[in-house]
Amino acid sequence: MVIKSILRCFEIASGLKVNFHKTKLGSIGMQNRMIERFSIMLNCMTMNIPFLYLGIKVRANHRTKVFWNDMIINIRKRLSKLKGRHLSFAGRVMLIKSVISTIPLYYLSIFKMLVSVGKIIRKLQREFLWGWGHEGRKIAWVRWEHICRTKEDSGLGVKDLDKFNIALLGKWKWRLGKEELGLWKDIVLSKYESWRELDDKKVCSHDSWW
């Protein structure tokens, strides 16, 4: 009732009305019966854990292959054989670059990618690049490591996903040391003291996966 009163005050003060029919209520460590009771009071639906937020599964285990399935499916759709059949070699390279720079960005910015997931994505990239949209065994004329080199180094400039993942995760550590303000920084420092402590500290059961 207190939450409902706060939301009502927000509506009066801002003129923005909360649409409870599009709102879902969920919790961690609470009985379903209690959640259903609260949802009736707020006139909204209930949701299961994990749930999607900005395309990321919240409270899901990223150390399982199932967690990454949606991202793999989206990449497979974008790098379809039908599209490859109607694109030149340069077009396929550009599409691979754009897909890898957009679809897995949020995932790779927050979670360490599984080795098996990286192999699946690289296979999709190779088949799309060398397959010409046809069935059957494809011949890879150049090693994928050379494809991922920069153009100045005789490569095609396609991102190496493993290194890209490490770079995105490392950026958080860089921001932790460089940025002066930020709620996320205050929370991390209150729990782990400093970014140097993150290097030396052993992982405990209550530590965040991230």
**Which H, E and C letters describe 102-137, residue by residue?**
HCCHHHHHHCCCCHHHHHHHHHHHHHHHHHCCCCCC
Quick one: pLDDT at residue 134? 59
The tens-digit pLDDT sequence of the chain (210 residues) is 898 899 889 999 999 988 888 888 888 788 888 989 999 988 888 888 888 877 778 888 888 988 999 889 989 888 887 677 778 888 888 989 888 878 888 889 888 999 999 999 998 888 888 876 556 666 778 888 898 998 888 888 999 999 999 999 988 888 888 877 788 888 888 877 766 666 666 666 667 766
